[in-house]
Amino acid sequence: MGLSQGVTGLLCKLLLWSQPRRLISFRKVQSVPGNRPFLACFTYTTDRQSNKENRRTVEKLCQFSVDISKIRRVKEWVLLEDKTYVEEIASILQKLGASDTVIASILERCPEAIICSPPAVDTQRKLWQLVCKNEEELIKLIERFPESFFTVKDQELQKFNVEFFQELGLKNVVISRFLTTASPIFHNPVGKNKQMIQILQESYLNLGGSKANMNVWLLKLLSQNPFILLNSPTAVKETLEFLQQLGFTNSEILQLLSKLKGLLFQLCPESIQDSISFSKNTFKCTDDDLRQLVLKCPALLYYSVSVLEERIQGLLTEGISLAQIRETPMVLELTPQIVQYRMRKLNTLGYRMENGHLANLKGTKQEFESNFGKIQAKKTRPLFNPVAPLKVEE
């Protein structure tokens, strides 16, 4: 303890000497819970800050080894609040099994937690426990997504939506993911969410989907893109009608919906029209050819004209022709930086993209690395197997 505190103390002095013309005060906490950095036990204030900050709040946070400087940098306004609940919020987290280190981390990253009323936080705890297996899983979620947990509003509405999603057949693990990464859908009126679900079901059936597979399709779509529920029924209908006007068959539209994970409904017909018009003019293709391009690379529907221009130009700069891009349009899903990196790697093996097919360039990072490994293995493979028996005619 003596050595680490001595080093930390020296660092503190250096920090203070570099701040002239400021009134500086230190306050040491009696006990340091957990293994938090020693520096976190001190507060650094200026005369301006000390006159505004809630001194009691700062002291209570220091008792839990919260690094006050982190809060001051990002959400200093929390320290100016008259009414805070540091001890009460920490107590709720402790009862869930959070260690002192975890509590400090949560309060540093989401300091607004201390202005939430304890009853509201306790209600939120009960709500999240509806989809968590145990308290250990719950505290891990809170630690990873504190801001989502401490958004304590529309709690009754959130509960109704949780129950609705459970009745719909979504697994609790999926609903918990929605709570942490797609929280806006829980602030939607339940009636609106139900209406959107009904529109999606009707659209699936109208496009030729089978009733037996409808629920599986719907749940998969929601799990991939829950934000689809934030769209309006009118927007969904307009997008489907627009795609039909472009000549896409019902089965092709279903295919696009699955590939784009519902992102299609978040696009407006005007932006789609701009993108496909640009693609048609660039590749000089017929309407039928254009539809085949889009089915191969649905990204052509949602990339803006500026993005498409940048990516096509990047490929042309690397010596790739428009004919090659048209044959393998999926390469347009790659940024120019990724294209350059992959081409350099392939060039080290003597693979010249301008003379061949672009299949080895496209795909996810994992797919590319797998293909690269196969090409590399072929290049280094001996022309013959020295240990294989030679065929000799008798």
pLDDT above 80 for 393: no
Amino acid at 29: V
Provide the pLDDT for residue 48: 47
* Largest pairwise CA distance in the chain: 103
Tens digit of pLDDT for each residue in 54-77?
A: 999 999 999 999 999 999 998 999
Query: Which residue has 């050819």 as its token pair?
Result: 289
Provide the pLDDT for residue 375: 79
Sequence-ordered alpha helix ranges (H) in 113-171: 118-129, 135-144, 146-149, 155-168
**Average pLDDT score over residue span 156-182:** 94
Provide the pLDDT for residue 362: 84
Provide the pLDDT for residue 257: 87
pLDDT above 80 for 7: no
pLDDT above 70 for 213: yes
**Highest mean pLDDT, choosing among 27-41, 260-274, 312-326:** 312-326
The CA angle 341-347-348, to the nearest 5 degrees, is 100
Provide the pLDDT for residue 32: 40
pLDDT above 70 for 392: no
Is this model's pTM higher than 0.85 or not?
no
27 neighbors 42 (Cβ within 8 angstroms)? yes
Neighbour-count burial of 274, counting CB atoms closer than 10 A to its CB (0-12 exposed, 13-18 middle, 19+ buried): middle
**Average pLDDT score over residue span 176-184:** 93
pLDDT above 80 for 9: no
DSSP type of residue 267: S
**Average pLDDT score over residue span 283-293:** 92
pLDDT above 60 for 1: no
**Highest mean pLDDT, choosing among 123-132, 357-366, 372-381:** 123-132
Number of residues written out for the chain:
394
The CA angle 325-328-334, to the nearest 5 degrees, is 75
185 neighbors 229 (Cβ within 8 angstroms)? yes
Q: Which of 189, 272, 181, 294 is nearest to 232 (CA)?
A: 189
**Average pLDDT score over residue span 137-160:** 93
56 contacts: CB under 8 Å, gap ≥ 6: 84
Provide the pLDDT for residue 35: 43
Provide the pLDDT for residue 365: 87
pLDDT above 60 for 28: no
Q: How far apart are CA 201 and CA 129, in angstroms?
A: 30
Task: Give the pair of three-digit tokens for residue 51.
Answer: 């006159």
Q: Which residue has the higher pLDDT, 362 or 17?
A: 362
DSSP type of residue 328: S
pLDDT above 90 for 371: no
Q: Which of 168, 275, 271, 270 is nearest to 226 (CA)?
A: 168
pLDDT above 80 for 135: yes
Residue 392 CA, chain-centre distance (Å), reads: 63
Read off the pLDDT band of 41 (50, 70, 90). very low
